[in-house]
Amino acid sequence: MSRYRNPPIVEAACEFRFSADTPWEQDLPERFYDAVKEWFPIRESRKEQAIRIKTGSEGIAENRLEKIEVPVFMAGDRKTLVQIGPRRLSIHRLKPYRSWEDFRTTINLAYSTIASLTNVTGFDRIGLLYVDKIEIPGNDVRLADYFTFYPHCGEGLPGDVMNFMVGCDFSYNGHRDICRLSLTRAMPERQNTSAYLLTTDYFLARRNTVEPKNALVWVEVAHTAVTALFEGCVTGKLEKIFNQDG
């Protein structure tokens, strides 16, 4: 995707959700920041909702929703950031997306730092997500000219489609991994254009099937699959738009 002059990526994200037996000390975010503040000097926090579950001898004794503070560490341009929640690490790159090599370096830094500060025992989930916002000139776009992945409407259905959402789950590596592909309309940022969100979400579907030492290898494999899927979704006519000046 980054091979285009103007890649349509508005956000790329890589998330690690660690297994419940991974030690997670309360001061881990602070120690993480001390290790990476050269690259992520800006500190903020965001509130997220989390489900707090308490178990007793007869099963679940309490189940409540509460807000938690999630530390966020950002690079100077505020376009690259890392979030740390309870047994969760996510790395994000916002538009403009420079290259996979650049994003991969950030992922490797964040994961390797966490792995040096605690004993990662396994993963409930790993995910690599790309959100692409694609704007095409014109208000009456024929999807088949630009996409190979789009909704099909039979002859008995109205031809004037106002909105849509189409999606597929693709299986990889013996059903260990899944890539969830979706396409929907979006609000255009420029006049006289039509906009679409194409999302590729590649994730580990079977927990504890990737060893911690192989986590970054998994991310590389995921990126290869995501890139191939994206390129399989778009036509040469759309690629020309990605390579236009400006």
In a domain, 14, yes or no: yes
d(CA 165, CA 180): 13
pLDDT digits (tens, 9 = 90+) for 92-137: 999 999 999 999 999 999 999 999 999 999 999 999 999 999 999 9
- Token pair of 58 as six digits: 């007869």
In a domain, 62, yes or no: no
In a domain, 177, yes or no: yes
- Enclosing domain of residue 91: 9-45+71-242
pLDDT above 90: residue 141: no
d(CA 82, CA 89): 7
- Given this model, what pLDDT does residue 203 score? 98
In a domain, 2, yes or no: no
In a domain, 27, yes or no: yes
Residue 44, Cβ neighbours under 10 Å: how many?
A: 12
Mean pLDDT within 29-47: 94
Number of domains in the chain: 1
pLDDT digits (tens, 9 = 90+) for 41-52: 999 988 766 555
In a domain, 82, yes or no: yes
Q: Buried b vs exposed e over 47-83: b needs ≥16 C-beta within 10 Å? A: eeeeeeeeeeeeeeeeeeeeeeebbbbbbeeeebbbb
pLDDT digits (tens, 9 = 90+) for 143-201: 999 999 988 877 787 777 778 899 999 999 999 999 999 999 999 988 899 999 999 99
In a domain, 53, yes or no: no
Confidence (pTM): 0.89
In a domain, 231, yes or no: yes
d(CA 114, CA 86): 12
Short-list 80, 89, 105, CA closest to 212 = 89
